[in-house]
Amino acid sequence: MPPFLLVRLLLLLPLLATTLSSHADTIRMAVGLALPPYVISAENRGMELDIVREALALGGHQLQPLYVPFARVPESLSQGNADAAMTVSTATELTAAYFSDEHIEYHNSVIALAQRHLTIQQFSDLLNYSLIAFQNASHYLPQTYQQMAQQHPQYREIAQQNIQVAMLFSGRIDTIVMDINIFEYYRQQERQVDVKAAVQFFMLFPPTPYQVAFTREQWRDDFNRGLKKLRASGRWQQIIDAYLRPVRQPTGPDTAPAQR
């Protein structure tokens, strides 16, 4: 081999090794336990999980989910038990982590049956109606919501969000607080109660965008490139739609003006 070719080969070897290593990794990712439709751990799938998995695949990586309680997701990363953590944000207390672009958005809402014609423009209006929220809602939601919850005589929080949906459509509760996509998912799954009635979404909460945190900058960059491809191809929206097929319902308003 001519000397100049040997020199060029030696110069290229480190670059080649770096490229191959960055595109041949299985990434152990801390994932919060069941939060359908975002994560369905029993089936190793979910709307958010599929997006992250496919974006990583487009970047040349495989995803190995490590299912933990949602509150322990950041801890799993910071203690070195995972290479990445899903459903976090820059507000999460994580050091030495590389945060991706936003890959999904959660959006809580106050939900009521449209036929009730309720007037809800601010959190204090909820004092007039019975209300069930998801577990620990008064911990995660804004302080003004927490103050309302403390004063509310008929306020409850429950872990089983499918029960919230059933109680709303059966008329056993006036209002519920939950993420819109979680609501639509459980509405699809409900078999005991008729869920075709039109509903109102009172948008008193801002949406919450989420990211993925990685321990390596290269993994973060590969994920971002894959995510961009996923959105540009339309596949990102296909994944969302696959989990949120609309429930048949009468024609009617499904939203209410948002006032904060």
How much of the chain, in percent, has pLDDT values that exceed 90? 76
**Residues of 120-141 as b/e, b for ≥16 C-beta within 10 angstroms?**
beebebbeebbbbbbeebbeeb
pLDDT of residue 6: 47
The answer to whether 55 and 21 have CB atoms below 8 angstroms apart is no
| 175: helix, strand or coil | strand
For 32-60, the pLDDT digits (tens) are 988 999 999 999 999 999 999 999 999 99
Residue whose C-alpha is closest to residue 99's, from 234, 219, 242: 219
Residue 257 pLDDT level (bands cut at 50, 70, 90): very low
pLDDT for residue 152: 97
Q: Tell me the per-residue pLDDT of 121-145, one tens digit each, with 9 for 90 and over.
A: 999 999 999 999 998 898 889 999 9
pLDDT for 70 = 87
In the predicted model, is pLDDT for residue 16 greater than 50? no
Mean pLDDT of 193-221: 97
Measured between alpha carbons, how far is 56 from 220 in angstroms, rounded to an integer?
A: 9
Whether this model's pTM surpasses 0.85: no
Per-residue pLDDT at 3 exceeds 50: yes
Statement: residue 10 has pLDDT above 80: no
Other CB atoms closer than 10 Å to residue 166's CB: what's the count? 19
CA distances from 158 to 79, 136, 165 (A): 30, 8, 12
Q: DSSP 3-state assignment of 30? A: strand
* 259 and 124 Cβ atoms separated by less than 8 Å: no
Round the average pLDDT of the chain to a whole number and report it: 88
Span 202-224, average pLDDT: 97
Whole-angstrom CA distances from 119 to 64, 107, 177, 182, 195 are 46, 20, 15, 23, 22
Question: Length of the chain in residues, anyone?
Answer: 260
* CA distance linking residue 44 with residue 112, whole number of Å: 32
Q: Of all residues in the chain, what percent carry a pLDDT higher than 70?
A: 85
